C-alpha cells in the first residue's frame, strides 16, 4: 500500500486575507528547493516540517509565528565527515508594511517587510533556518578526530 503524499508548504500567502482569518499553514518543505540552504549542507536529501500561523497579538500587532523541524546533513568541521544535525527552530516575526515601520520596530522585535501583500513562505523559512545553523558544526561521534 502506498504511503499518502505529504502536503507541501505553499509558496506564499496573501497577507491581508490570511491575517483576517488567522490562517495556519503546515507542510513539508524539501531541502532541495532551498538553494542557499543546499549550498551549506552536505546534501539536499530530506525535507523540513513547517508549521506557521499569521495572527495578531494582544495589541493587534501582525505576526508570523511557527516552528521548523527536521534533520540536515552537515559536515563536521573537526573530522570533515557528514552527520545528521537536528533542527528545531522557532519563528517569531513582526510583520511590517513599509521601511519606516521596519526601522521603528527593529530594536524590539524581528521585523519581516511585506511587499505586495505577499508572504513568501519558502524564502522566510530558508532565512530562519540559515540563522539557526551552527557557525562551526561538529558531530558528537566518539571517534571524531581532526581530518
| Secondary structure (DSSP) of 91-146 | EEEEEESSHHHHHHHTTTS-EEE-BTTEEEHHHHHHHHHHHHS-SS-----TT---
Q: What percent of the chain has pLDDT over 90?
A: 83
Quick: pLDDT tens for 63-105: 999 999 999 999 999 999 999 999 999 999 999 999 999 999 8
37, 142 contact by CB (below 8 A): no
Give the residue extent of every domain in the chain: 12-132
Quick: pLDDT tens for 44-65: 988 999 999 999 999 999 999 9
56, 22 contact by CB (below 8 A): yes
- Section 28-50 average pLDDT: 95
pLDDT of residue 8: 93
Partners of 72 in the β-ladder:
85
Q: Is the pLDDT of residue 1 over 80?
A: no
Amino acid at each position: 500500500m502506498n504511503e499518502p503524499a505529504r502536503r507541501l508548504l505553499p509558496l506564499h500567502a496573501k497577507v491581508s486575507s490570511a491575517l483576517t482569518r488567522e490562517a495556519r499553514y503546515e507542510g513539508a518543505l524539501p531541502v532541495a528547493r532551498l538553494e542557499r540552504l543546499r549550498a551549506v549542507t552536505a546534501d539536499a536529501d530530506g525535507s523540513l516540517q513547517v508549521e506557521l500561523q499569521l495572527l495578531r497579538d494582544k495589541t493587534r500587532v501582525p505576526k508570523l509565528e511557527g516552528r521548523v523541524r527536521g534533520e540536515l546533513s552537515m559536515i563536521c568541521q573537526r573530522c570533515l565527515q557528514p552527520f545528521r544535525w537536528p533542527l528545531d527552530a522557532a519563528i517569531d516575526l513582526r510583520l511590517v508594511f513599509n521601511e519606516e515601520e521596519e526601522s521603528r520596530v527593529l530594536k524590539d522585535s524581528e521585523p519581516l517587510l511585506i511587499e505586495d501583500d505577499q508572504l513568501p513562505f519558502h524564502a522566510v523559512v530558508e532565512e530562519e533556518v540559515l540563522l539557526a545553523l551552527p557557525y562551526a558544526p561538529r558531530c558528537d561521534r566518539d571517534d571524531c578526530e581532526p581530518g
